[in-house]
Amino acid sequence: GDAGRGRRIQRAATCGLIETYQACRSDFQYQATCNPRRCLTVPSEVEGDSCDNKDADLVVFVGDELVSTASSKKYVVVDRLGQGTFGQVFKVKTEQEEIFAVKIIRNKPAYTNQALVENMILSLLKQEENGTLLKYYECFSHKSHLCFITEHLAVNLYELLRQNHFRGLSLNLIRVIMRQCLD
């Protein structure tokens, strides 16, 4: 009835917004490159001549391209996954629409040196191919920042605890998580 027709019109006007607008204005041409770029880094202000903010984090926008100096693969930034002491983590995709996570290390010698040790450990674990907890693919430098490409995982433990209002986890859930870690 009328409710079904209303939903179809709403869907056409939202999911098919570009087509709807083009039907109304024949001279309209949509170009994704004209979209404003959303900054994912906080704070977003660049310091001096670099691409970094005051915390030595690379200032990253949706659509930024990170090109691996090791494999020549191109990774396009999709969204921010989190931030920590050593840097930021973003969801990225390749030209083949494969989804990965990239950890971009802060541009400070102490963090870079520690990240190089982490890279060595991850590389050794990758060679063992023993089903480690995190699939590690590659490491490369981008605008003086080390970048680690890993598999994109679901929610992290902190986020799980936060969503549970920091009440802890049931013993059954802890057993499931530990089995996954030990398998």
Round to whole Å and give the CA distance between 65 and 20. 31
**Whether the model pTM is above 0.85:** no
What was the pLDDT predicted at 90? 96
Round to whole Å and give the CA distance between 33 and 37. 9
Mean pLDDT, residues 99-120: 96
Asked whether residue 181 carries a pLDDT value surpassing 80, the answer given is no
Report the 10 Å Cβ neighbour count for 70. 12
Asked whether residue 136 carries a pLDDT value surpassing 80, the answer given is yes
What was the pLDDT predicted at 122? 87
Structural contact between residues 92 and 173, judged by C-beta atoms closer than 8 angstroms: no
Structural contact between residues 106 and 55, judged by C-beta atoms closer than 8 angstroms: yes
Asked whether residue 2 carries a pLDDT value surpassing 90, the answer given is no
What was the pLDDT predicted at 53? 97
**Alpha helices per DSSP H over 129-170:** 157-163
What was the pLDDT predicted at 129? 67
Structural contact between residues 42 and 60, judged by C-beta atoms closer than 8 angstroms: no
